[in-house]
Amino acid sequence: MTMLSTTIQPGLWASVGMIAAVVLCSTAGEVLTASAMKSIGDLDEIRARSGLKGAILAVVTCPRFHAGVGFLALAFFSLLFALNHLNLGLVAPASASLTLVTNAIAAQLFLKEHVDRRRWTAAVLVCIGVYFLAH
């Protein structure tokens, strides 16, 4: 006797929403963390000046760092939620590769990084490469 299980497949917009949540939370987390580290300054110099304890203290007392880690945790739980409803073969390549492109856009907009043609080419190449690896 075979047991038939009925699974409800989410619609197109629900799937797009779940992947978008992973990508947006991950991008917000990466950008906030990067911004926090820039505001703290070169960790190697801080460690040389105040030791390892001073460097750790500088990081953990930065509110923006905690906001970044919070968003990264949200991205992780959004990924778990998406994996519960969608196939790994769709979620993993889509979220991993799209995050690279959204990070480049967010870094240019919010961190005022100079994303020149070289970096855009690299972002697109890595994005397609990750898609091929994860698919």
Partner 1 sequence: MSHIRPTPRQYLILGFVSLSAPLGDSCLSRGMTSLPPISLAHPLSLIGAVFTPWIAAGIALLIGFFASYLTALSWADLTYVLPATAFGNVIVELLSRFWLHEEVSWQRWLGVFLITAGVGFVAHGPSLTERPQPQAQAAESGIAGEQSR
Candidate list 18, 22, 25, 34; residue touching partner 1; CB under 8 A:
34
First and final CA of the chain: distance in angstroms? 34
Q: Is 19 in the site for partner 1 (CB under 8 A)?
A: no
Return the HEC string of 59-75. Answer: HHCCHHHHHHHHHHHHH
Contact by Cβ (8 Å): 46, 54: yes
In whole angstroms, the minimum distance from the beta carbon of 17 to partner 1 comes to 23
Candidate list 18, 23, 32, 86; residue touching partner 1; CB under 8 A:
32
Candidate list 10, 14, 16, 39; residue touching partner 1; CB under 8 A:
39
Q: Is 90 in the site for partner 1 (CB under 8 A)?
A: no
